[in-house]
């Protein structure tokens, strides 16, 4: 008999169930809690990711030193040590190590914070242990467990089906087949392909409809999906990540050219080779935004923590920037526009008369169905009418093709089928019309038209309307084929009131320049009622059938003007999202059902809710604990703040840093000595980067969050040139004062320029952080404190005990006065230039 760990994917479906039970060491009745705990402990010990946390920390640390520029600098330091420059080697090595450790610590802490957030969202599964149903985390499922699955569940392991009822599973992630596969108990031949293994469930697939009981055979890395995980786990690059990559290439080109030119010129003029190499590489490191990954990670993790306070869980950090870029938000009305708490208003027959027996039918249908729980069934169950002698036999579960659920109930007077669902779907299986408790007439075309007229009237009043049909039968088990020749019993009238906050939330989103589009499966009459309540023009409503009649080109021209999409099928939701993206919109989509998954995947930012089906939560980038549009507005605002704070560091790097590096390059060509030692360049970079870490928590002016934040390389290049030249002007002014006016050279010159260089970068940090005048926007407390600390260190270093080792000399009061005057002029002119630059940019963007 094969061992459990040797069962192949074919054998999983081919081995008889008794042999499979024996191989797994079980009697087929499930495990007890102690057995499950022991098996879980063994599985975790054998899991290749068991040491994931320590390996992740190590990889994060190594990443800080993997930059080609840093690696080249380390080689140069080693060469310097080999030539006997011990003090320089130690100082430069310590600066590199300190920079790397600082970046690592920030990024590692941010990663831990996100890990804690993600633990709040866990996939659940129902198992049979000790003979009772238990809901556990899917990660705790072990071989030999018996699991119960229903619509919306993600399969947590490779399983063998024991029992099923109209079970259909989406296996597209493994087979590429988009049509759901029907699953049932049975046995297959050894030649059967994975896609045809009707008696098996595979990890990572999800249940579309129906219910089932299955035996867990393989978990974790032993599953088919586990073996393919590496190839399937690649995430698509976000818009912000593309921007970062483009910015990196841009800086790399400039840095490479600048470094090679300076190295060649210094060697040509006969300056020491090692000093020239170290100087050039230090310049390159000075140009590199090595703290950018850490700053972005910290900005995103802090935003994730703030969003958690607003009841939004972030699953993927980089998606925060995507959320900040959103210009169109697509949402269903239930739970976002409306309260989401369905209330049963009435159950009426074809004559419009309220009937208690219809309530009884609806209640029985709700409490006896086991395939797909939803708010409507919960509302009906809350009626607590009682089953009054009825008992459940079986059901035909709800699915999104039939749009109805049918239960078979037994009573002393016989068996009865009760169907509940969308009116058209119910009428499609009805041949008769109930006109009393026991009487019925033929449901002819005239009566059908009359029923549809009643339906429209109820919908226009704002009700959500479902149909109820019944059929007496002698059957003890039913299938889809038995849903025929039924009698239409009446209408179920439901109400989901508009949220009091909906209008205010929509207004706030419009203020953020985000347009909301409602995508609902409800009929056009209910959609028109909601549109009227929200002051949306009736001409901005499009129905699913009308959408199907539009070509891609015609729909693309209309999609931005439509505010409400009604009678929409799941595949049409994807079409709407894709059409919006093709028109240049950055889209977010909120969904909580199986029929929303494709649209969640298609959107730039996928959003689900805490009570959504597992497959929807897995597909989403964000999970809302509270389903409310105002929460989304907060999330979009946080995304824009994170983007704005990250861009501040970009501007500083491309402005002051480029200017200082350009000035250093020019001075090294004009002066008979190196204007700054390599260790001083790295020290400048370290001191100025230290307060930059606080940018992640800095305040953001409201004008920077009114529109979606987007990468603009043209503006970044222009900013680099304008502010780089501005910075270089004051650097060369400093050169002139120090070298020609004060007659300084060597250590004295380097000290004066070191102070001017560091302080100008610290000042530009405070200037560029806001697009408003410097004195009208206050930085965060942490940014101000770190900047002040860096300023103090800069001033103290030339008078410290390590001044000689760092190549500094004491500075006189006259030098201090000249440098102070230059810095004041720099601060005032930089602030005026900044205001004018961004004002001109804003005007250009609006035209």
- Residues with active-site annotation: 332
Cα separation of 416 and 388, whole Å? 14
Which alpha helices (H) appear in 119-178, and where do they start and end?
172-175
Cα separation of 328 and 516, whole Å? 6
CB 628 within 8 A of CB 499: yes
- How does 818-838 read in b/e, with b if 16+ C-beta sit within 10 Å? bbeebbeebbeebbeebbebb
CB 461 within 8 A of CB 493: no
First-residue to last-residue Cα distance in the chain:
76
**Cα four-point dihedral sign 217, 315, 378, 474:** negative
Residues for the chain: how many in total? 847
Question: Please, which residues have CB within 8 angstroms of residue 198's CB and are 6 or more apart in sequence?
Answer: 13, 181, 182, 183, 184, 186, 188
CB 733 within 8 A of CB 752: no
**Cα four-point dihedral sign 261, 264, 269, 275:** positive
Cα separation of 732 and 660, whole Å? 10
Cα separation of 744 and 729, whole Å? 19
Rg of the chain's alpha carbons, rounded to an integer?
A: 34
In order of 284, 298, 667, the CA distances from 294 in angstroms are 19, 6, 32
Which single residue is written with the structure tokens 């309260």? 339
Question: Please, which residues have CB within 8 angstroms of residue 116's CB and are 6 or more apart in sequence?
Answer: none
* CB neighbour class for 809 (10 Å; exposed up to 12, middle 13-18, buried from 19): middle
Task: Specify the pairing of strand 414-421 against strand 464-473.
Answer: antiparallel
Cα separation of 477 and 482, whole Å? 9
**Token pair for residue 656?**
């002051």
Angle at 816 between CA 683 and CA 283, to 5 degrees: 25
Question: Please, which residues have CB within 8 angstroms of residue 446's CB and are 6 or more apart in sequence?
Answer: none
Which alpha helices (H) appear in 119-218, and where do they start and end?
172-175
Greatest alpha-carbon pair distance for the chain in Å reads 113
Question: Please, which residues have CB within 8 angstroms of residue 418's CB and are 6 or more apart in sequence?
Answer: 361, 364, 365, 406, 407, 409, 468, 469, 470
Which single residue is written with the structure tokens 């088990």? 477
Cα separation of 62 and 64, whole Å? 5
CB 446 within 8 A of CB 433: no
**Cα four-point dihedral sign 494, 496, 498, 500:** positive
What residues are paired with 182 via a beta bridge? 168
Which single residue is written with the structure tokens 């290049």? 717
**Token pair for residue 544?**
């699913």
In order of 517, 656, 727, 736, 823, the CA distances from 730 in angstroms are 52, 11, 5, 10, 8
Cα separation of 846 and 844, whole Å? 5
């Amino acid at each position: 008999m094969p061992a459990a760990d040797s069962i192949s994917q074919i054998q999983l479906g081919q081995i008889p169930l008794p042999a499979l039970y024996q191989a797994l060491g079980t009697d087929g009745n499930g495990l007890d809690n102690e057995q499950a705990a022991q098996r879980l402990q063994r599985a975790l010990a054998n899991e290749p990711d068991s040491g994931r946390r320590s390996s992740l920390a190590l990889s994060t640390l190594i990443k800080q030193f993997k930059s080609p520029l840093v690696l080249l600098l380390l080689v140069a330091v080693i060469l310097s040590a080999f030539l006997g420059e011990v003090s320089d080697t130690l100082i430069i090595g310590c600066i590199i190590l300190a920079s790397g450790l600082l970046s690592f610590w920030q990024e590692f802490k941010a990663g831990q914070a996100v890990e804690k957030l993600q633990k709040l969202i866990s996939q659940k599964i129902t198992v049979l242990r000790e003979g009772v149903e238990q809901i556990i985390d899917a990660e705790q499922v072990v071989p030999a467990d018996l699991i119960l699955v229903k619509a919306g569940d993600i399969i947590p392991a490779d399983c063998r089906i024991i029992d099923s009822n109209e079970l259909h599973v989406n296996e597209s992630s493994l087979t590429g087949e988009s049509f759901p596969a029907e699953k049932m108990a049975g046995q297959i031949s050894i030649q059967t392909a994975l896609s045809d293994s009707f008696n098996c469930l595979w990890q990572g697939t999800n249940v579309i409809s129906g219910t089932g009981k299955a035996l867990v055979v393989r978990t974790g890395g032993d599953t088919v999906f586990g073996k393919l995980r590496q190839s399937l786990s690649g995430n698509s690059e976000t818009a912000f990540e593309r921007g970062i990559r483009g910015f990196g290439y841009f800086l790399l080109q400039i840095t490479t050219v600048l470094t090679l030119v300076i190295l060649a010129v210094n060697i040509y003029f006969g300056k020491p080779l090692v000093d020239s190499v170290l100087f050039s590489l230090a310049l390159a490191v000075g140009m590199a935004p090595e703290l950018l990954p850490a700053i972005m990670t910290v900005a995103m993790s802090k935003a994730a923590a703030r969003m958690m306070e607003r009841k939004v869980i972030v699953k993927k950090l980089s998606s925060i920037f995507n959320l900040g870029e959103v210009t169109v938000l697509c949402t269903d009305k239930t739970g976002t526009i409306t309260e989401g708490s369905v209330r049963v208003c009435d159950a009426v027959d074809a004559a419009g008369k309220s009937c208690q027996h219809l309530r009884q039918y609806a209640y029985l249908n709700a409490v006896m169905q086991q395939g797909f729980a939803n708010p409507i069934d919960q509302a009906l169950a809350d009626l607590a009418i009682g089953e009054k002698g009825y008992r459940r036999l079986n059901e035909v579960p709800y699915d999104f093709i039939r749009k109805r659920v049918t239960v078979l109930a037994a009573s002393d007077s016989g068996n009865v089928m009760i169907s509940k669902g969308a009116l058209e779907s119910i009428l499609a299986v009805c041949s008769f019309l109930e006109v009393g408790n026991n009487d019925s007439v033929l449901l002819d075309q005239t009566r059908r038209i009359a029923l549809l007229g009643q339906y429209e009237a109820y919908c226009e009043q704002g009700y959500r309307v479902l149909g109820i049909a019944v059929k007496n039968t002698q059957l003890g088990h039913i299938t889809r084929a038995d849903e025929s020749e039924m009698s239409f019993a009446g209408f179920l009238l439901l109400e989901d009131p508009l949220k009091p906050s909906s209008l205010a939330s929509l207004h706030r989103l419009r203020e953020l320049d985000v347009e909301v589009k409602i995508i609902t499966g409800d009929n056009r009459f209910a959609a028109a009622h909601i549109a009227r309540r929200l002051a949306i023009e009736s001409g901005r409503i499009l129905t699913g059938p009308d959408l199907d009649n539009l070509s891609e080109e015609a729909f693309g021209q209309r999609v931005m003007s439509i505010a409400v999409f009604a009678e929409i099928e799941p595949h049409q939701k994807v079409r709407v999202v894709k059409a919006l993206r093709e028109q240049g919109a950055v889209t977010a989509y909120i969904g909580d059902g199986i029929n929303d998954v494709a649209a969640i995947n298609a959107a730039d930012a996928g959003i689900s809710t805490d009570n959504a089906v597992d497959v929807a939560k897995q597909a989403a980038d964000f999970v809302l604990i509270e389903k409310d549009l105002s929460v989304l507005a907060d999330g979009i605002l946080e995304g824009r703040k994170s983007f704005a704070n990250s861009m501040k560091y970009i501007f500083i790097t491309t402005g002051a840093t480029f200017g200082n590096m350009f000035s250093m390059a020019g001075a090294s060509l004009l002066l008979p000595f190196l204007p700054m030692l390599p260790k001083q360049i790295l020290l400048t970079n370290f001191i100025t980067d230290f307060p930059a870490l606080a940018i992640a928590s800095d305040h953001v002016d409201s004008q920077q969050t009114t529109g979606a934040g987007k990468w603009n390389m043209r503006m970044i290049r222009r900013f680099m040139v304008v502010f780089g030249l501005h910075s270089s002007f004051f650097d060369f002014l400093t050169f002139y004062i120090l070298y020609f006016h004060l007659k300084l050279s060597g250590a004295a010159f380097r000290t004066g320029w070191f102070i001017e260089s560091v302080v100008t970068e610290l000042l530009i940090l405070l200037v560029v952080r806001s697009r408003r005048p410097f004195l009208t926007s206050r930085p965060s407390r942490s940014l101000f404190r770190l900047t002040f600390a860096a300023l103090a260190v800069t001033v103290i270093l030339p008078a410290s005990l390590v001044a000689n080792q760092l190549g500094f000399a004491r500075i006189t009061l006259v030098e201090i006065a000249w440098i102070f005057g230059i810095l004041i002029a720099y601060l005032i002119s930089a602030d005026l230039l900044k205001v004018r630059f961004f004002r001109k940019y804003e005007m250009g963007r609006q035209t």
